[in-house]
Structure 1
Amino acid sequence: MENRVNKNEVFIEETFNASPEKVFSAWTDPEKLMKWYAPDGCTIHFKKIKVETGGEFHSCISNPQFGDCWCIGKYKEILPNTKIVFTLINADENGNPIDPVKMGMDANWPGETLVTVTLKEENGKTKLQLRQTVSQEIAKKTGAYPSWLQMLNNLQTMFNLN
């Protein structure tokens, strides 16, 4: 069953007052990503980003309180207006993977997670489902889960302004 919530993964569902094309564009256009893809009070910049199947990114979320958090990842699957699948790996400024524990993260946080975003048109709106391969409990404890909620809220605000 598709909507089954697995305690070993993060699962978030949001509905946006925008078409799947607009929501997909917000996830795949680097200029748009920079406007919303960071938790409240933080900013993001990309050292490298190529949004296509097999493409890679190297990003940094700057947090005034906790400093910079670098990530690398690879786009595993890009289905226009439908699905985006990518890996997320904690890294350094040069794009080398870093053991999350060495960064002060929870010992149970995996070195690599897979994020799957699916988009579905419903009554002129878009239902977004986000899954990440890490326990929701750990994601809540580390701040990853509330960060996703803040970022999706930022995206919601972006659509409400347009």
Structure 2
Amino acid sequence: MTDEEPAADRSLLLLDEQLCFALYAAQRAVTAAYRPLLDELGLTYPQYLVLLVLWERGETRVKDLASALRLDYGTMSPLLKRLEAAGLVRRERSAHDERSVLVACTGPGEELKGRAERVPGALLASTGLGTAEVARLREELWGLAERAHPTADPRPPGPTSVPTR
């Protein structure tokens, strides 16, 4: 670029001007804020997300769990194996459809829910965000996800989904 080109054109490729980098940095920072809270529970962030879905829905097919978390089966399988080895979930073939594998929390997995209930509030406290700010930010991010990938609804299916169309 030359000195005659407008400053706006020069900023197009600046790292700090990239939406993707701001999202990436925010995601890493929020995940890092979760880490000490989840360490107390003996969970990784992806394991916590799996348990959130199971606590909300109960017994769930692996396919539906992967869809809710936007993960592929190759990622889900080792994640579920680790949770099963920790005694927090059980997997079994569906009696109605042998091709489907069902996942459910075990007793210890359900007991962990009580301890996990403090995580969202502790995260809010650590970030200084209020519930209204979080709700607004979450809606904006779901809207961005939908606009960035308009062929699929980015929101997880379930009772908490709010139609956007």
Rg bigger for which structure? 2
Q: Specify which structure has the bigger relative contact order, considering alpha-carbon pairs within 8 angstroms and separated by 6 or more residues.
A: 1
- Flag whether TM exceeds 0.5 (same fold): no
TM-score after normalising by structure 1: 0.24
Structure in which a larger fraction of residues adopt strand: 1
TM-score after normalising by structure 2: 0.23
